[in-house]
């Protein structure tokens, strides 16, 4: 059960498809100065449907369906405009470079930009106005720390409000009045931590609430749904027994391994010319070795050697007392070209395309001593990109930062708990956005 905007995100996506089709109909009406005939509609329907699927995928990559996306933001219309311009470029390539397309709607595409942008912006503005009026009321039985955990949710999410709170740390709260309030106000959701031993005295009264249509929601599930990460504050040994398996679904593992092999082979073939150019550029720049080998900790705490194009100088620079990026290296790191050789590690099975990023052994030793449950991230194969790389903006890079890594671990645990083919696809699409914006290094 979720108190999040997943349903609203799905409805937004459906609404976007409807607006795109309405925009197409309006463009055809304006173009031909009359109601479009069935022949004209049939001619445009199939190719534009395929195109709309690509466009909605671009919307997804741009973050228009995320819980973090504020529909009331004044920049939304500007963002939609930029996205639609990108989509128009895709449409031009789609219609003019794919031989299967039987139409080349130059004027129609031009009209479509001006028709679709205001319609999409208006649709999202009014959908937000309708959605913002629906407020979810919930009651909560928890300790002070759990209440603090959700305090940011109530501040940042205007549609979610904790109407009544029974503090387990206080001996003065009136339990009977709290239960009566839940019944009287017909509260649908009651938030609690069922693993808290202090809940035991309330169980008879809570059982009675079942017959009043009350649904019980875990504190951790609320936090996870709104923030896309696991609260380390709520993680105990029992949590791992329930949610983390050292041997996940065999079908998922098999499918993921097949996809890793197929995609990495395809990418290696496509990027082969880049390998040649990088080899020449590095040799011209400082004549040092092309590849750099770095030892990391992989699945089951086994050490692996990952490959990268060398981006640092071979020797330590006397003036600064350390190595520094080469001219070619700066460009490679910014564009992530230096990561391409790791596709070989993917083929060998040491890395996956999607998974927690591996760390150096020395750093791992320090984190295992400082951060509870840090070693759990080594239950699965590390990856080139992961959930934390997308959403944790300030994760440390080759340095020790316990606080930042705790935050990063909360995202890694979310992935370990929820990993699936669908989540992997979503991470892959979001990674494209990260690469294009040169973020999340």
CA 374, chain centre distance (Å)? 21
* Whole-number Cα distances in Å, 201 to 77, 147, 234: 52, 19, 21
Q: Does 440 have pLDDT greater than 60?
A: no
pLDDT of residue 377 exceeding 50, the answer is yes
Q: What is the mean pLDDT of residues 85-113?
A: 74
Can you give the pLDDT at residue 71?
A: 43
* Angle at the Cα of 291 from the Cα atoms of 266 and 387, rounded to 5 degrees: 55
- Burial per residue of 10-46, b for 16 or more beta-carbon CB atoms within 10 angstroms, e otherwise: eebeebbeebbeebbebbbeebeeeebeeeeeebbee
Residue-wise pLDDT tens digits, 277-331: 999 999 998 888 999 999 999 999 999 999 999 988 887 766 666 778 888 888 9
- Give which of 248, 328, 239 is closest to 286, Cα–Cα: 328
Backbone φ and ψ of 317, nearest 5°: -80, 120
Instruction: Enumerate residues 6+ apart whose C-beta is below 8 A from 60.
Output: 13, 426, 429
> What pLDDT, in 10s, does the model give residues 31-71?
888 888 888 888 888 888 888 998 888 888 877 777 644 44
pLDDT at 401 over 70: yes
Closest of 383, 423, 391 to residue 408, by C-alpha: 391
Higher-pLDDT residue of 45 and 153 is: 45
Q: Given a cut of 50, is residue 136 above it in pLDDT?
A: yes
Model confidence pLDDT, tens digit, residues 11-42: 888 988 999 999 988 988 888 888 888 888 88
Q: Looking at the predicted structure, is the pLDDT value of residue 350 above 60?
A: yes
> For residues 218 and 229, is the Cβ–Cβ distance under 8 A?
no
Average pLDDT over residues 96-123: 75
Distance CA 222, CA 136 (A): 12
Alpha-carbon distance of 229 to 407, in angstroms, equals 9
Please, what is the average pLDDT of the chain? 83
Six-digit token string for 15: 């609404």
What angle do helix axes 421-436 and 250-270 make, rounded to 10 degrees?
30
């Amino acid at each position: 059960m979720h108190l999040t905007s997943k349903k609203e995100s799905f409805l937004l996506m459906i609404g976007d498809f409807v607006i795109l089709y309405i925009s197409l109909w309006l463009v055809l009406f304006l173009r031909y100065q009359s109601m479009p005939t069935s022949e004209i509609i049939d001619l445009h329907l199939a190719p534009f449907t395929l195109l709309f699927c690509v466009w909605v995928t671009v919307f997804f990559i741009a973050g228009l369906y995320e819980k973090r996306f504020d529909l009331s933001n004044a920049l939304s219309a500007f963002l939609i405009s930029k996205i639609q311009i990108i989509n128009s470029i895709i449409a031009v390539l789609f219609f003019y470079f794919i031989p299967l397309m039987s139409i080349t709607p130059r004027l129609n595409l031009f009209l479509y930009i001006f028709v679709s942008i205001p319609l999409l912006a208006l649709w999202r503005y009014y959908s937000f106005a309708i959605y913002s009026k629906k407020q979810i009321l919930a009651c909560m039985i928890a300790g002070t720390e759990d209440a603090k955990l959700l305090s940011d949710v109530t501040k940042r999410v205007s549609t979610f409000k904790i109407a009544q709170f029974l503090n387990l740390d206080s001996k003065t709260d009136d339990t009977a009045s709290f239960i009566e309030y839940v019944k009287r106000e017909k509260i649908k959701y009651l938030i609690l931590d069922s693993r808290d031993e202090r809940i035991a005295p309330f169980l008879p009264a809570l059982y009675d609430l079942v017959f009043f249509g009350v649904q019980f929601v875990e504190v951790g599930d609320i936090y996870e749904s709104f923030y896309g990460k696991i609260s380390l504050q709520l993680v105990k040994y029992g949590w791992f027994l329930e949610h983390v398996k050292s041997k996940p679904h065999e079908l998922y593992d098999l499918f993921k391994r097949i996809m890793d092999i197929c995609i990495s082979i395809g990418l290696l073939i496509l990027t082969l010319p880049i390998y040649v150019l990088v080899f020449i550029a590095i040799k011209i720049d400082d004549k040092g070795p092309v590849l750099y080998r770095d030892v990391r900790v992989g699945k089951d705490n086994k050490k692996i050697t990952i490959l990268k194009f060398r981006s640092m100088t071979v020797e330590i620079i006397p003036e600064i007392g350390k190595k520094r990026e080469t001219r070619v290296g700066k460009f490679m790191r910014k564009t992530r070209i230096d990561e391409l050789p790791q596709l070989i590690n993917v083929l060998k099975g040491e890395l996956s395309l999607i998974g927690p990023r591996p760390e150096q052994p020395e750093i791992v030793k320090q984190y295992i001593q400082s951060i509870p449950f840090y070693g759990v991230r080594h239950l699965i194969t590390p990856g080139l990109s992961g959930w934390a790389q997308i959403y944790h903006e300030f994760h440390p890079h080759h340095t020790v930062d316990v606080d930042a890594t705790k935050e990063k671990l909360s995202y890694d645990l979310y992935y370990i708990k929820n990993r699936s083919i669908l989540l992997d696809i979503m991470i892959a699409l979001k990674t494209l956005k990260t690469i294009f914006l040169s973020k999340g290094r």
